[in-house]
Amino acid sequence: MTTTNRIMLVDGMALLFRAFYATAMSNYFMINSKGMPTNGVYGMMKHLFTAIDTYQPTHVVCCWDMGSKTFRNDLFPDYKANRGAPPEELIPQFDLAKEVVESLNIPNVGQAGYEADDCIGTLSRTYSEHSQVFILTGDQDMLQLLQPNVNVVLLKKGHGNYAEYGESTFVEEKGITPEQMVDLKALMGDSSDNYPGVKGIGEKTALKLLLKYENIEGILENLDQLTKGQRSKIEQDLDMLHLSRKLARIHCEADLDCSLDDALFYIDDEKMGAKFDELEFRNWKKNIVGM
């Protein structure tokens, strides 16, 4: 079945953080006359418009984390506990970014208790039945969502530089399936999300085991085939292995709904211009929208 809908699911957190840190490193916060820093939001808009120009979506939805606590913290209280508070210049820009997205008639979607990833996963499953979905993010974890009709577009340095993955390009490059990525993270853990996986098993060993035994179940059924060291590490950390898998998997059944009518991409130039001017975005016609 051919489809004309091209839906872009935007990882709002990833774009905002990336844009903020790109200029914050040199203390360039673009503080306007009201004392509001706007560097993150300005840069986020640049990323967004560049991607829209490149991928020409018919529909756009922007997904957000809602607060810092999610079901993963209930499972494992140390989840992401290694992350400090965001810089004070970024904090007011979270709400500001949503306001600006809203001024473009793009729905802001989030669900308490879930991360933006889970919202993107849920919507990608729903939409991909009838449409082509592009996930715009900087987060490699999203690659586990690849399936027919779902591509992941990873932001690279600069504007308009992307690493785009479909299911087959991922398998070709990584040697494993998107689904196996969850088990890979469960085995090796994830230091940025602060869960350990199996202590002493790194990416190389984890990949080797998955290529041979397919998944965690296959590995556990063949423990007697493993080296003594591998076996004892896995047996020692068995509970953590199962828990890490739950933490690694993007939850695609979040309770949210965003109709395609609401997501239809249509910019009201007057509404957008008023918002950009109110925030004192300099040269936005040239730098952001490319007019």
The CATH number given to whatever domain includes residue 60 is 3.40.50.1010
Which stretch of 110-119, 157-166, 247-256 has the lowest confidence by average pLDDT? 157-166
User: Based on the domain organization, do 125 and 199 belong to the same domain?
Assistant: no
- State the CATH number of the domain containing residue 212: 1.10.150.20
Does residue 1 fall inside a structural domain? Answer: no
User: Based on the domain organization, do 164 and 185 belong to the same domain?
Assistant: no
- Going by C-alpha positions, the residue among 150, 141, 147, 148 that lies closest to residue 7 is 150
Return all residues near 147 (Cβ < 8 A) that are at least 6 apart. 128, 167, 178
To the nearest whole number, what is the mean pLDDT of the chain? 94
Contact yes or no for 266/105 (Cβ under 8 A): yes
Does residue 82 fall inside a structural domain? Answer: yes
DSSP-based three-state secondary structure for 54: helix
Does residue 253 fall inside a structural domain? Answer: no
Question: Is the confidence at residue 167, as pLDDT, over 60?
Answer: yes
DSSP-based three-state secondary structure for 10: strand
Return all residues near 237 (Cβ < 8 A) that are at least 6 apart. 196, 197, 198, 199
Does residue 268 fall inside a structural domain? Answer: yes
Q: Starting at the earlier edge strand, list the strands of the sheet with 108-109.
A: 108-109, 59-63, 6-11, 132-137, 150-155, 162-165
User: Based on the domain organization, do 47 and 124 belong to the same domain?
Assistant: yes
User: Based on the domain organization, do 33 and 143 belong to the same domain?
Assistant: yes
d(CA 255, CA 220): 33
Backbone angles phi, psi at 62, to 5 degrees: -115, 125
User: Based on the domain organization, do 65 and 166 belong to the same domain?
Assistant: yes
d(CA 236, CA 59): 48
Domain of 236, in residue numbers:
176-248
Does residue 152 fall inside a structural domain? Answer: yes
Mean pLDDT of 72-81: 94
d(CA 32, CA 40): 13
**Nearest-5° Cα angle at 218, 141 to 148:** 40
Question: Is the confidence at residue 71, as pLDDT, over 60?
Answer: yes
Residue 1 pLDDT: 45
Overall number of domains in the chain = 2
User: Based on the domain organization, do 56 and 88 belong to the same domain?
Assistant: yes
Mean pLDDT of 207-217: 96
Say whether pTM exceeds 0.85.
yes
Q: Convert the pLDDT of each residue in 49-63 to its tens digit.
A: 999 999 999 999 999
User: Based on the domain organization, do 58 and 142 belong to the same domain?
Assistant: yes
User: Based on the domain organization, do 138 and 276 belong to the same domain?
Assistant: yes
Question: Is the confidence at residue 290, as pLDDT, over 90?
Answer: no
For the chain, strand residue ranges (E) read 6-11, 59-63, 108-109, 132-137, 150-155, 162-165
Structure tokens at 224: 């007697």
How far separated are the first and last CA of the chain, in Å rounded?
36
Contact yes or no for 29/92 (Cβ under 8 A): no
Mean pLDDT of 249-262: 93
Question: Is the confidence at residue 288, as pLDDT, over 80?
Answer: yes
User: Based on the domain organization, do 235 and 196 belong to the same domain?
Assistant: yes
User: Based on the domain organization, do 157 and 278 belong to the same domain?
Assistant: yes
Question: Is the confidence at residue 67, as pLDDT, over 90?
Answer: no
User: Based on the domain organization, do 89 and 200 belong to the same domain?
Assistant: no
Residue 283's Cα: distance from chain center in Å? 29
User: Based on the domain organization, do 219 and 128 belong to the same domain?
Assistant: no
Does residue 254 fall inside a structural domain? Answer: no
Does residue 99 fall inside a structural domain? Answer: yes
Does residue 86 fall inside a structural domain? Answer: yes
